[in-house]
Structure 1
Amino acid sequence: MASAQIVVHPPSRTGGRRGTVRGQILGLAHNEADLLEFLRRAGLPDAEELLDDQTRVLWRGGRAHRYEAA
């Protein structure tokens, strides 16, 4: 997973997950639409197709595609 450029961090205590691309913080996503918009703004218009690609996206802590509070 060291090559994953997109990281979706563990859910926060209040809900939402921080997203980063190459170490650059994109924002706190509270749902899939938020995350996709952050990735689109970062220049990844095909982000929806990437989210389940384990070579490109690392979902840390919690289950992938879940944004509820930890």
Structure 2
Amino acid sequence: MNNNQDHFARHGGVHFSNNVSHEQINEFVRQLPAGRRESLFEVLQELQSNGLITIHNDHVFTDGEGKLGGSEEC
């Protein structure tokens, strides 16, 4: 399944797209060693390295509440 919807990481606002289903991503993350799941950055890197997501280096970010481009509080 190729679910190419745009998503943004809740913390850090990194823009990415899924290359597989949410279920496959969740299963992959559950199988990572506990120490590799502590950092969202590391989880995103693992997902990209294994082809499950594509991180877009397009300088489009969101704030912690999902607002594109951030907010005055950020």
TM-score, length basis structure 1: 0.29
RCO greater where, 1 or 2, for CA within 8 Å and sep 6 or more?
1
Rg comparison, structure with higher value: 2
TM-score, length basis structure 2: 0.28
Higher helix share: 2
